[in-house]
Chains A and B, each alone.
Chain A
Amino acid sequence: MSEFSLKIDGKDVAASDDMTILEAAQSAGIAIPTVCHHEKLEPFGGCRLCTVEAEAGGRTSLVAACIYPAQKDMAVKTRTPQIDKIRKVLTEQLLAYAPESEVLRGLAREYHADKDRFPKEPSFCILCGLCVRYCAEVKQKSAVGFVERGPNREISFVPEIAAKECWDCKECFPLCPTSALQAAYVLTRSLTSFKSTAQPEAGKQAATNTVPQ
């Protein structure tokens, strides 16, 4: 592993080649907004709110800080008029699903995003994938996953797995940046539509259990 320094917002930051731009920035106390990122999980690069401008080898590009490797002599800008514009639009798009989300409201204040700019889509899910990835990577159960693609993408619990695994876990609930109730809702929907003879009350109980913090 080699150690080097790069510039983030004009500040010299020490980093190593196993670090992402986000990690390098965080180690130097420079904040970059994230929604889909979690320390326990593999970088995903899905929400793109951490988009920054990185210049390396004479090339400037917009990259996702959470997943892009820090490089020697790289110069990173975490705020530019364009980056702010991107974050504003992305926040507005996500707010259409979850207007009350604290994470998104904070971003809206910072980037002057209008929560009513796009028509409301009452799914409450912004598809950050935290629940999906936590279940797969940390719990290694894959009880919840993505289905469909593009604008039709949604999260869904696999009833056969969820009916067995979700009882004593529900660790994904508090990870949800929009509302813990969202995962509870999707879980309930999956389980109530699942005709399990083994645990007919599965859905009801799973949803009413208290969330372990």
Chain B
Amino acid sequence: MINSLTELEQFRQGILSKKDPDGIRVSVCAGAGCLASGAGKIIAALNEEIEKQGMQDRVLVKGTGCPGFCERGPIVVIDPDEICYLQVKPKDVAAIVSKTLKEKKLIDRLLYAGPGKDEKTVREADIPFYKNQERNIIGNNIKIDPKCIDDYLALDGYSALAKVLFQMAPEQVVDEVKKSNLRGRGGGGFPTGIKWDAARNAPGDTKYVIVNADEGDPGAFMDRAVLEGNPHSILEGLIIGAYAIGAHEGYVYVRQEYPLALENVGIAIRQAEEYGLLGSNILGSGFDFKVKVHRGAGAFVCGEETALLLSLEGKPGEPRARPPFPATRGLWGKPTNINNVETWANIPLIVNNGADWFNQFGTGKSKGTKIFSLVGKIKNTGLVEVPMGVTLRDIVYKIGDGIPGGKKFKAVQTGGPAGGCIPEEHLDIAVDYDELAKVGAIMGSGGMIVMDEDTCMVDVARYFINFLAQESCGKCSPCREGLKQMQRILTNITEGNGKEGDIELLEELAMSTGSASLCALGRTAPNPVLSTIRYFRHEYEAHIREKRCPSYSCEKLVSYYIDPQACTACLLCLKNCATDAISGSRGQIHVIDQAKCTRCRSCYDVCPPHYGAVLRFSGESVPEPIPVERRTLVEKSKAI
């Protein structure tokens, strides 16, 4: 139990003094992604090998939070030299210990390779993926074992809490957050300080604060990484918020599908309680606050704050009308403040560094940094934290390193399933709340899905509308019925059953769903439809008028055909066909039976590019198969 400010600082000095100044620290990302690709085995192998080599007194191995470069995981960082090894496998461990830890030599093949073949980057901070970021929140992940509160304390953890408890009145805390211009990171972008003020000023003795960790956007995992990797930063923010608002109870609402996040948050709460950072009389200040974890059962709509509250109360997670806002009537009718994970994680930084520090990052009305999960057709999949105002082009090309496979960029979808698809022509917009809205997209919680020329934009709209229809609670008719009709029309279009007037009908449905729905799910749901119509109308028209999918992506509108002039009868496509739709043999030109073909594309993908014998057709009929008697392959020179 730490009972005062002085004791906290003494305790912190104790942790720091125990650190071996000449010691080596090996940090292995133990986030969900790296664990899935073997980080657990690497940690075990490291410990074993270090002991074998008798280095256990000098080397400390830590499983840490996720630093974000998921594309190249498992990631190992060796300090004090910040050597960053990527895509490490258990079999690399012996070399890491004997060469790098013992002999201070680098292992070239594990280093980041620059654009030139022989160019290797040693330090984590010099890798372009990291260099172009501003990692205020996620930067600490690799330095912390999330299961160890001492690691957080060693990095000045809970000093912001100590500052507010002993040096600031609750009103001052609210004012500082207001001055920081922090806006909600969960999607709405509402000014956090104003929200806090409303909850603080709402009449009532019992108030609640809640962490919304019901991250449900497909492809989004930034909240997960912070929860898994640095749970104490969120707890510290939450306790500060509770103090500012006057709450003594709080909840962390985490989706059930995040087992590691649940585990780490649970451990963090227990440790904070043991240390006297949670519970009664926190740090001897007289302030009481306790936190419980609530597991969400998997409904996307429970990320909407009123639905989340009802779900916490044990009722069906369906949004209710606002006003009254949760700030005045929230959980069990009491004033409640709900913020997203990333919003809470910003609070200790703002308290420690001041609102002016926070305001130096970002644009006019969007301050600070934002974490995006960069996924899809992008070379560097991972988590990216950048100051607001960075261009989409920089995120996609400087940090993400562009599109793999030499393909062309088509669009980036921001803001989760209800976000908008932004085309090439708008890649230079500054990414902030207002600029994204201008081009028909939203900030959302920070999902960023990159699409290349092979992606059909009508099919993308269909996919997201399908997701949203399944996740709509069904309470209000514009959302329930509008999404259902949009889903039907989009499915028809992608299957070649679209008709004239469908685009206009989609726009009419989008208007009614987007303007009359009860909650933000329905109100933002038309974005994928409207933004793809706005920028890719020609793709809709091609599907409807010519029954043609310009990206050769909609299965029902694409056929494959083997060019008899180019086929070398190599058997590759034939062997890869899952439905035995390809006939032929060595020396016999291969032919696709269109009736058996399921348009899975594998023949097209396996046919070596220098043959290029498999052709795609969309919007036009496939040529008749070559007659059986002409299928025997003859030497090219003789055939001419």
Q: Which residues of A contact B (CB under 8 A)?
A: 43-48, 51, 62, 64, 67-69, 82, 85-86, 89-90, 93-94, 96, 118-119, 126-127, 129, 146, 148-153
Contacting residues, chain B, for A150 (C-beta < 8 A): 469-474, 480, 483-484
27 contacts between A and B (CB under 8 A): A44-B475, A46-B475, A47-B477, A48-B478, A51-B515, A64-B516, A69-B323, A82-B511, A85-B508, A85-B512, A86-B478, A89-B508, A89-B511, A89-B512, A90-B481, A93-B481, A94-B481, A118-B485, A148-B474, A149-B472, A150-B469, A150-B470, A150-B471, A150-B472, A151-B480, A151-B483, A153-B473
Interchain CB contact under 8 A, A94 and B477: yes
| Given known contacts A48-B516, A62-B516, A85-B508, A90 and B478 CB-to-CB distance under 8 angstroms | yes
B474 touches which one: A44, A47, A93, A152 (CB < 8 A)?
A152
The CB with the most chain B CB atoms within 10 A, among A96, A129, A151, is that of A151
**Chain B residues with CB below 8 A from A89, complex form:** 478, 482, 508-509, 511-512
Q: A63 vs B517: C-alpha distance in the bound complex, in angstroms? A: 9
Q: Determine whether the beta carbon of A90 is less than 8 Å from that of B477.
A: yes
Q: Name, among B477, B488, B509, the residue most crowded by chain A CB atoms within 10 Å (CB to CB).
A: B477
Complex Cα gap A47–B517 (Å): 9
Task: Identify whether the interface residues of B are mostly helix, strand, loop, or mixed.
Answer: helix
Contact call B480/A68, Cβ cutoff below 8 A: no
Contacts of B471 in A (CB 8 A): 149-150
Selected contact of B321 from candidates A68, A127, A148, A153, CB within 8 Å: A68
Q: Are A48's CB and B517's CB within 8 A?
A: yes
Query: B473, A149: Cβ atoms under 8 Å?
Result: yes
Query: Given A45-B321, A89-B512, A90-B516 in contact, is the A153-B480 Cβ separation under 8 Å?
Result: yes
Roughly how many angstroms separate A204 CA and B469 CA in the complex, as a whole number? 36
Kindly report which residue of chain A lies nearest to residue B511, judged by CB atoms: A85
A27 to B470, CA, bound (A): 40
Shortest B474–chain A CB gap in Å is 3
Contact residues in B for A45 (Cβ distance below 8 Å): 320-321, 476, 518
Q: A150-B471, A151-B474 are in contact. Are A93 and B485 (CB under 8 A)?
A: yes
Partner of B488, one of A82, A119, A126, A153: A119
Q: How many angstroms from the CA of A165 to the CA of B509 in the assembled complex? A: 41
Which residues of chain A are within 8 angstroms of B386 by Cβ–Cβ distance?
none
- Please measure, in the bound complex, the distance between the C-alpha atom of A151 and the C-alpha atom of B487, giving whole angstroms: 10
CB distance from A160 to the nearest CB of B (A): 19
Closest B residue by C-beta to A126: B477
Q: A45-B321, A68-B321, A119-B488 are in contact. Are A90 and B512 (CB under 8 A)?
A: yes
Report how far A69 CA is from B329 CA in the complex, Å: 14
Q: By the criterion CB–CB under 8 Å, are A153 and B474 in contact? A: yes
Bound CA–CA A43/B321 (angstroms) = 9
**A129 CB contacts on chain B under 8 angstroms:** 475
Give the docked Cα–Cα distance between A177 and B475 (Å). Answer: 17
Complex CA gap A146/B470 in Å reads: 16
Shortest distance in angstroms between A92's beta carbon and chain B's nearest beta carbon?
9
Query: B478 — which chain A residues lie within 8 A by C-beta?
Result: 48, 86, 89-90
Q: State the Cβ distance, A96 to closest chain B Cβ, in Å.
A: 8
* Contact (Cβ within 8 A) B476 A47: yes
Per CB-CB distance, the 9 closest pairs between chain A and chain B, nearest first, are: A153-B474, A93-B481, A151-B484, A150-B472, A89-B512, A67-B321, A48-B516, A45-B321, A51-B516
Contact of B477 among A46, A68, A69 (CB under 8 A): A46
Query: How many Å lie between the Cα of A157 and that of B475 in the bound state?
Result: 17
Contact check, A86 vs B516: say whether CB atoms are below 8 A apart.
Answer: yes
Across-interface contacts of B477 in A (CB, < 8 A): 46-48, 90, 93-94, 126-127
A48 to B516, CA, bound (A): 6
B26 within 8 A of A: no
Known contacts A86-B511, A89-B508; A48 and B480 CB within 8 A of each other? no
What's the nearest-Cβ distance from chain A to residue B368, in Å?
Answer: 25
| Bound-state Cα–Cα, A59 to B512, Å | 19
A48 contacts across to B, CB distance below 8 A: 476-478, 516-518
A77 CA to B27 CA, complexed, in Å: 62
Please tell me which one of the listed residues A46, A96, A146 contacts residue B476 in the complex, with CB atoms under 8 A apart: A46
Q: Note all chain A residues with C-beta closer than 8 A to B475.
A: 44, 46, 129
Residues on the B chain within 8 Å of A148, using CB:
474
A149 and B299 in contact, given A48-B518, A127-B474 (Cβ under 8 angstroms): yes
Per the bound structure, the CA–CA distance linking A68 and B483 in Å amounts to 24
CB distance from A38 to the nearest CB of B (A): 16
Q: How far is the CA of A146 from the CA of B301 in the complex (A)?
A: 16
Chain A nearest CB, measured from B516 CB (Å): 5
Known: A45-B321, A46-B475, A148-B474. A82 touches B515 (CB 8 A): yes
* A residues in contact with B323, CB < 8 Å: 68-69
Give the interface centre of A62, A89, A126, A152 by most chain B CB atoms within 10 Å: A89
Residues of chain A contacted by B476 (CB below 8 angstroms) = 45-48
Does the CB pair A146–B474 fall under 8 Å? yes
For A64, the closest partner residue in chain B by CB is B321
Using A93-B485, A151-B483 as known contacts, say yes or no to A64 and B472 having CB atoms under 8 A apart: no
Chain A residue with the shortest CB-CB distance to B515? A62
Residues of A contacting B488 in the complex (Cβ-Cβ under 8 angstroms): 119
Complex CA distance for A82 and B516, rounded to whole angstroms: 10
Name the residue among B484, B487, B517 with the largest chain A CB count within 10 angstroms: B484
- For B468, the closest partner residue in chain A by CB is A150
Q: What residues of A have a CB within 8 angstroms of the CB of B511 in the complex?
A: 82, 85-86, 89
How far is A47 from B480 in the complex, measured between Cα atoms in Å?
10
Within the assembled complex, what's the spacing in Å between the Cα atoms of A69 and B470? 31
- Residue in A85, A90, A150 with the greatest tally of chain B CB atoms within 10 Å: A150
For residue A90, which residues in chain B have a CB less than 8 angstroms away from its CB?
477-478, 481, 512, 516
